[in-house]
Structure 1
Amino acid sequence: MLNLLSFLFGIVSLVIVIPATIPLLGWANWLALPLIVIGIIVGQLSSSNSGRNFNIIVLLIAALRLTLGGGII
């Protein structure tokens, strides 16, 4: 059940992160980061680690976009 909840946090975060790759929408990644961290924590509590791994991949995408945009753009 916790793994499913972790996937849910990851999917919601991914829906926020994908449009944030468009220039001038990079600030939306800052909204997604807390959701991603919550998803990682919930995934860590689960017996399966696939939800946690999915959230880590979404985190890497968001962090790469924030790095390329200088944190805001």
Structure 2
Amino acid sequence: MGLVSLIWGIVALLWMLLAFIPLLGWGNWFLIPFATVGAIIAAIGLLFTHAGKHGRARAGLLLNGIVIVVGVVRLSLGGGIV
């Protein structure tokens, strides 16, 4: 689960960088739910893995959390359009 959430977070981060391009900000509307699913996968990974193997799940949770926050801020600044 940790590896899946980490890869999911990397894909979400790349998608976020693409959504920074002007006129592609509408991608944030799809990015936020995508990253939320990745954060849920990471949280499940944290719950069901041993204490020594939490690194990938934590990294996935952190990446997806950053993407969600940046996406929400970007949508609020652009009024949800840009």
Aligned-residue RMSD, C-alpha? 1.2
Over alpha carbons, which structure has the higher Rg?
Answer: 2
Matched, 1:3 2:12: no
CA distance in 1, matches of 2:67, 2:22: 18
TM-score of the superposed pair, with normalisation by structure 1: 0.86
Count of aligned pairs: 72
> After TM superposition, which residue ranges in structure 1, 4 or more long, deviate above 6 angstroms?
none
> What is the Cα deviation at residue 4 of structure 1?
1.0
Residues 10 and 35, structure 1, Cα contact 8 Å, conserved in 2 = no
Amino acid at match of 1:53: L
Identity, % of aligned pairs? 40
TM-score of the superposed pair, with normalisation by structure 2: 0.78
Q: Which has the higher helix share?
A: 2
Gaps of 5+ in 2: 47-53
